[in-house]
């Protein structure tokens, strides 16, 4: 039984509504709803407050003290490595969808629930790197525009401008290198 199901069952066994549980645990009703619907995993403080409000041992809710959501049987190491490679290689979607490509690996991470903490952390780091790449690419393009406008205004000569494809391709090759580097790190993880 998953954590959200255990909390919901314990609440219903006590005969509390979500509002009553929220008052007893001193958290918001929305927090209780998110936890019970499985939209988020509660922090340990929230989980302890809910356990205290329900008069249930903390360890009972956390599945013998594991402190994480019960997500079924864990994947073998080679399956986790394969999944992380898939998440990493899905970042190559930046070639087709340059500004929102990080949503694909993020979707893959959210869909898979039975991976361990270390693999999840690595997957999140990969997604975070791709978000940073998008932001840096946009800032670099804006800086190129600003430089070109200033150089033409100051010198009046268009020969000192930077072509927009130079930083664009530089960032694309840099991201390809970053994805390949992450792929090697994932391979070494096994």
Query: For residue 95, is it within any domain?
Result: yes
Calpha distance 21→14 (Å, rounded): 10
Q: Which residue has the tokens 């919901």?
A: 8
- Mean pLDDT computed over 76-96: 89
In a domain, 68, yes or no: no
Give the CATH number of the domain where residue 18 resides.
1.10.260.40
Query: Do both 176 and 83 map to the same domain?
Result: yes
Q: Averaged over 134-156, what is the pLDDT?
A: 93
Q: Which residue has the higher pLDDT, 70 or 179?
A: 179
36 and 112 co-located in one domain:
no
Q: Has residue 72 been placed in a domain?
A: no
Residues 108 and 23 in one domain: no
Residues 15 and 39 in one domain: yes
Taking Cα atoms as reference points, which of 19, 81, 23, 12 lies closest to residue 52? Answer: 23
Q: Both 45 and 90 in a single domain?
A: no
Q: What is the pTM of this model?
A: 0.59
Beta-carbon contacts of 90 under 8 Å, excluding residues fewer than 6 positions away, are: 104, 105, 108
User: Band of the pLDDT at 66, cuts 50, 70, 90?
Assistant: very low
pLDDT surpassing 70 at residue 111: yes
Angle at 145 between CA 143 and CA 149, to 5 degrees: 115
Average pLDDT over residues 6-20: 90
56 and 83 assigned to the same domain:
no
148 lies in which domain range?
Answer: 77-189
Q: Is residue 185 part of a domain?
A: yes
* For residue 64, pLDDT beyond 50: no
The Cα–Cα gap between 57 and 52 comes to 7
Q: Is residue 179 part of a domain?
A: yes
**Burial grade of 49 (CB within 10 A; 0-12, 13-18, 19 or more):** buried
Q: Are 53 and 94 in contact (CB under 8 A)?
A: no
Is residue 135 assigned to a domain?
yes
pLDDT band at 179 (very low <50, low <70, confident <90, very high): very high
The percentage of the chain sitting over the pLDDT mark of 90, rounded to a whole number, equals 46
User: pLDDT confidence of 4, banded at 50, 70, 90?
Assistant: confident
Bigger pLDDT: 115 or 162? 162
Q: 81 and 52, same structural domain?
A: no
26: left (phi over 0), alpha (psi -120 to 50) or beta: left
Same domain, 104 and 158: yes
């Amino acid at each position: 039984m998953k954590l959200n199901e255990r909390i919901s069952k314990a609440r219903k066994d006590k005969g509390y509504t979500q509002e009553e549980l929220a008052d007893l645990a001193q958290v918001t009703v929305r927090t209780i709803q998110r936890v019970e619907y499985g939209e988020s995993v509660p922090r340990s403080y929230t989980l302890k407050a809910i356990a205290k409000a329900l008069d249930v041992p903390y360890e009972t809710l956390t599945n013998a003290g594991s402190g994480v959501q019960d997500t079924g049987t864990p994947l073998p190491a080679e399956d986790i490595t394969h999944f992380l490679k898939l998440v990493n290689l899905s970042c190559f979607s930046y070639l087709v969808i340059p500004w929102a490509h990080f949503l694909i690996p993020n979707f893959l991470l959210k869909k898979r629930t039975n991976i361990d903490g270390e693999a999840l952390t690595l997957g999140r780091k990969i997604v975070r790197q791709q978000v940073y790449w998008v932001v840096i690419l946009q800032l670099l393009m804006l800086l190129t525009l600003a430089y070109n406008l200033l150089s033409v205004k100051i010198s009046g000569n268009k020969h000192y401008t930077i072509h927009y494809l130079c930083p664009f391709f530089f960032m694309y090759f840099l991201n390809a290198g970053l994805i390949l580097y992450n792929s090697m790190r994932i391979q070494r993880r096994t």
